[in-house]
Structure 1
Amino acid sequence: MLYLLIAGICFFTASENKLFAQKIELGAGIGGLNYKGDISPSLRMRFFRPAGSLFFRYNPNQALSLRAELMMGGIGAADRHSDDPLLVARNMSFKTRILEGSAVAEYNFLNFVDRRFAINWSPYVFGGISYSKFNPDIQTSSYKTSGFVLPYGVGIKYQVRRPWNIGLEFGSRKTFTDYLDNLGGEPVNKEKLQQGDPSVKDTYYYLRLSVSYTFYKIVCP
């Protein structure tokens, strides 16, 4: 009788921990950052720069996932690669490093439920808020190099083999700065080739492939 009581308590406790543990993932991602702004008015593949991230994901239910992520990478662009002869004549370029911490919510279109012997995958959309710090190689004027950013995008996640998951995600970062490319604010001289467009804020993008591990609690015998 005592053995059955101990076994019951053990099973119940482990099961509760197991249910909680299955909701937690730790993962890492690798990919690239890209930029759109005064020096690159459109998204161009040649300007992708390496980036990587670490993240924590909590899955409270089948449809919703909450994620905290720390990302680091670089962006850069150069006028000499433009198709616009005026930009080529301007011949400006920049490089900057970005450190970003974000908190986002993911909405899973399919029921992303833990299953031992079933295909488990789902496309999703995400959105949230982040805080970004950028460090330009050259800073020609005094401006703020940090601020809030609005991340949003789409992705797909797939449980390869319990407890491992992979994912592919593409996200945009709406910033409130025009200085990612060291070319922003009101014009400081009369030379139009040296001026940017202060009405349009800079944007950067993160494309990443991720691997995550879901934690499981081993039920005691």
Structure 2
Amino acid sequence: MKQIFTYTLALASVLSLVASEASAQQFSKRKQYNSVGVSVNAMNYFGDITPKPSIPSLRFGATRPNIGVNFTHRFTPRISARAALAYGRITGDDTKAADKNDQDAKYRYNRNMSFRNDLAEISVVGIFDLIPNRNTYIKRPDLVPYVFGGIAAYSGNPKGLVGDNAPSSLSKGSYVALQPLKTEGVDYNKAGIAIPFGGGVRYKVNKSFDVGLEVGFRKTFNDYLDDVSTNYISQASLSSDAAKYFGGGNVLVVGGEFPNFNAPGSQRGKSDEDDWYVTTGLTVNYILAPKVKSPKFR
């Protein structure tokens, strides 16, 4: 609840800034314009299946693609609003992310969890340019750094990879949807609300095209993007071979070093951190030239 309040307050501050800027600037309809764009990004996540179960730990080898389309409207010399659709994948793998020779990471290596989650997102953000454009789009500045913040809704479907040590009833090398298995006894929601924020820089190629480099973070209020959050539960309470395998039956217990590794109540994830995801990439925007009405003479 405290985190929700903090991010709501931050969002309210951004919206207040937007409102004050909009009221303070005189920006004629002739100077306002729209643009459409596409983005190609690298996508990562912060969560329980990373080198360290904390922000901003991530494994660059787990980077996956993300693509998006957007529509932007310029309101004032500094303020724009952008609506966007995006689709991408996040992944994690304990045996690749955690160092088995590191005492702090060894338990995560032996936990032997992996996942992938394809996320679809719709977002609306306000963009604040650090360099204003008080002219028409044709005379806009060549290079503009900016920051943004807003709200997003996402939907995903975490899946786990069936490994070589799986029971014969499971098809090795296949992916299994994890949410229906209730691996921690929790019927969590695969969709949710996120707070997008970040920054970038935009470069004017010509009068109609901009290209930009942008980094965007997504704060979710969900610790199950990777299907890992709290503790192991009893194998007897899991309803299928798949649930037992992904719920704790695939651990790599080496030389008896971790007795009762997956015993009910023992640590499975770090429950005090919600999961995040982040995109970094290139955006190309095409400006839709506004129609200028000619004056009528009588």
Post-superposition Cα deviations, 1:64-104, rounded to whole Å, max 9, x if no partner, equal: 11000001000001011222222211111000100000000
> In 2 relative to 1, CA 179–68 (structure 1 residues): closer, same or farther, beyond 3 Å?
same
RMSD: 2.3
Unaligned 5+ runs, structure 1: 1-15
**What is the Cα deviation at residue 44 of structure 1?**
2.3
- Secondary structure of the 1:89 match is helix
**What is the Cα deviation at residue 188 of structure 1?**
2.4
- C-alpha separation in 2, matches of 1:118 and 1:55: 20
Residue type at the aligned position of 2:204: Q
User: Are 1:32 and 2:42 counterparts?
Assistant: yes
- C-alpha separation in 2, matches of 1:197 and 1:128: 27
- Secondary structure of the 1:135 match is coil
- Secondary structure of the 2:110 match is helix
- Secondary structure of the 1:46 match is helix
- C-alpha separation in 1, matches of 2:293 and 2:129: 32
User: Are 1:97 and 2:170 counterparts?
Assistant: no
What percentage of aligned pairs have identical amino acids? 32
- C-alpha separation in 2, matches of 1:57 and 1:78: 37
**What is the Cα deviation at residue 192 of structure 1?**
7.1
User: Are 1:110 and 2:124 counterparts?
Assistant: no
**What is the Cα deviation at residue 118 of structure 1?**
7.0
Q: Which residue of 2 aligns with 1:157?
A: 202
> In 2 relative to 1, CA 175–194 (structure 1 residues): closer, same or farther, beyond 3 Å?
same
- C-alpha separation in 2, matches of 1:215 and 1:73: 27
- C-alpha separation in 2, matches of 1:62 and 1:165: 16
**What is the Cα deviation at residue 116 of structure 1?**
3.8
Deviates more, 1:25-34 or 1:117-126: 117-126
> In 2 relative to 1, CA 118–182 (structure 1 residues): closer, same or farther, beyond 3 Å?
closer
- C-alpha separation in 2, matches of 1:147 and 1:115: 36
- Secondary structure of the 2:211 match is strand
Within the candidate set 185, 199, 215, 2:288 is matched to: 215
CA contact (8 A) 2:33 2:137 kept: no
How many residue pairs are counted as aligned between the two chains?
204
- Compute the TM-score of the two structures, normalised by the length of structure 1: 0.84
CA contact (8 A) 1:178 1:200 kept: yes
Q: Which has the higher strand share?
A: 1
CA contact (8 A) 2:231 2:266 kept: no
- C-alpha separation in 1, matches of 2:35 and 2:140: 19
Residue type at the aligned position of 1:212: N
- C-alpha separation in 1, matches of 2:265 and 2:61: 26
CA contact (8 A) 2:62 2:92 kept: yes
Q: Which residue of 2 aligns with 1:120?
A: 142
Within the candidate set 151, 156, 166, 1:134 is matched to: 156
Residue type at the aligned position of 2:93: A
CA contact (8 A) 2:86 2:122 kept: yes
**What is the Cα deviation at residue 143 of structure 1?**
1.7
Residue type at the aligned position of 2:154: S
- C-alpha separation in 2, matches of 1:175 and 1:44: 19
- Secondary structure of the 2:229 match is coil
Q: Which residue of 1 aligns with 2:273?
A: 200
- Secondary structure of the 1:86 match is helix
Residue type at the aligned position of 1:200: E
- C-alpha separation in 1, matches of 2:79 and 2:137: 17
